[in-house]
Structure 1
Amino acid sequence: MTFSQQKTISITIDDVPNTANYEKDHFRPILLNILDSLKIPFTIFINEDKIYKTAWLDKNKELLETWVKNEHAIIANHTYSHSRYSEVGFESFIKDIEKGDSLTKVYASKYNKVVKYFRFPFNDMGNDSLQHIQIREYLKSKNYTIAPFTVESSDWMFDTVYQYYLSAGDTVKAKTIGQQYVDKTIELLNFYEKIAIEIYQRPIKHIYLCHDNAINADYLAEIISRLKQADYSIVSFEESLKDPIYKQKDTYYKKWGISWLYRYMDTQEERVKWMKLEPDISKIETLYNQINK
Structure 2
Amino acid sequence: MSEPISPNGPVKVAITVDDFLQWKMVPFPTGYSAERVVSSLTSAFADFGITDCYAFFSTGPMEEDPSLREQVEAWCAAGHHVGNHTHNHASPDWVPASAFTADIKLSEDYIGSFIEAAPVKYFRYPMDMWGAEADKVADIHHFLAKENYIPAPVSYWFYDAQFVAPYWRAVESADSDAAAWLVRTYAETAVDQLRRHAAVSREMFGRDPIFISVFHGTAVTSDSVRPMLEALVAAGVEFVSLEEGMRDPLNALPAPMHTRLFRNSTQKWADHLGVSFEGTPPLETLSRMEEVSPREGMSYEDVFGAMRNHAAKEVGGTVAGGEFDWQSAVRPIHD
TM-superposed CA distance for 1:206, in Å, is 0.8
Partner SS, residue 251 of structure 1:
coil
TM-superposed CA distance for 1:68, in Å, is 2.5
User: 2:77 aligned with 1:77, yes or no?
Assistant: no
Decide whether the 8 Å contact of 2:59 with 2:110 is kept in 1. yes
User: 2:62 aligned with 1:62, yes or no?
Assistant: no
Structure 2 equivalent of residue 33 of structure 1: 43
Structure 2 equivalent of residue 14 of structure 1: 18
Give the TM-score of the pair, scaled to structure 2.
0.76
> Where do 1:193-204 residues align within 5 Å?
193-204=198-209
Partner SS, residue 223 of structure 2:
helix
Structure 1 residues 283 and 196, CA, compared in 2 at 3 Å: closer, same or farther?
A: closer
TM-superposed CA distance for 1:234, in Å, is 0.6
| Structure 1 unmatched runs, 5+ | none
Structure 1 equivalent of residue 239 of structure 2: 234
TM-superposed CA distance for 1:246, in Å, is 2.2
TM-superposed CA distance for 1:287, in Å, is 4.0
Partner SS, residue 126 of structure 1:
coil
Q: Equivalent of 2:59, from 13, 38, 48? A: 48
Structure 2 equivalent of residue 280 of structure 1: 282
Decide whether the 8 Å contact of 1:46 with 1:100 is kept in 2. no
Structure 1 residues 6 and 187, CA, compared in 2 at 3 Å: closer, same or farther?
A: closer
Decide whether the 8 Å contact of 1:14 with 1:210 is kept in 2. yes
Structure 1 residues 238 and 52, CA, compared in 2 at 3 Å: closer, same or farther?
A: same
Decide whether the 8 Å contact of 1:69 with 1:107 is kept in 2. no
Q: Name the % identity.
A: 19
Structure 1 equivalent of residue 176 of structure 2: 171
What letter corresponds to residue 284 of structure 1 in structure 2? L
**TM-superposition CA deviations, 1:102-129 (whole Å, max 9, x none):** 33232455xx435611111122222322
Q: Equivalent of 2:99, from 74, 92, 97? A: 92
TM-superposed CA distance for 1:168, in Å, is 0.2
Structure 2 equivalent of residue 122 of structure 1: 127
**TM-superposition CA deviations, 1:36-89 (whole Å, max 9, x none):** 3433132100222222344xx33x221111113321x13211001112211122
For 2:203 and 2:32, the matched residues in 1 are separated by: 44
For 1:49 and 1:23, the matched residues in 2 are separated by: 21
The two structures, once aligned, show a CA RMSD in angstroms of 2.6
What letter corresponds to residue 40 of structure 2 in structure 1? I
Structure 1 residues 18 and 32, CA, compared in 2 at 3 Å: closer, same or farther?
A: farther
Give the TM-score of the pair, scaled to structure 1.
0.86
**TM-superposition CA deviations, 1:141-167 (whole Å, max 9, x none):** 211111111111111111210121111
| Structure 2 unmatched runs, 5+ | 1-7, 303-335
What letter corresponds to residue 68 of structure 1 in structure 2? C
- What is the total number of aligned residue pairs between the two structures? 281
Partner SS, residue 148 of structure 2:
coil
What letter corresponds to residue 45 of structure 1 in structure 2? F
> Where do 1:180-191 residues align within 5 Å?
180-191=185-196
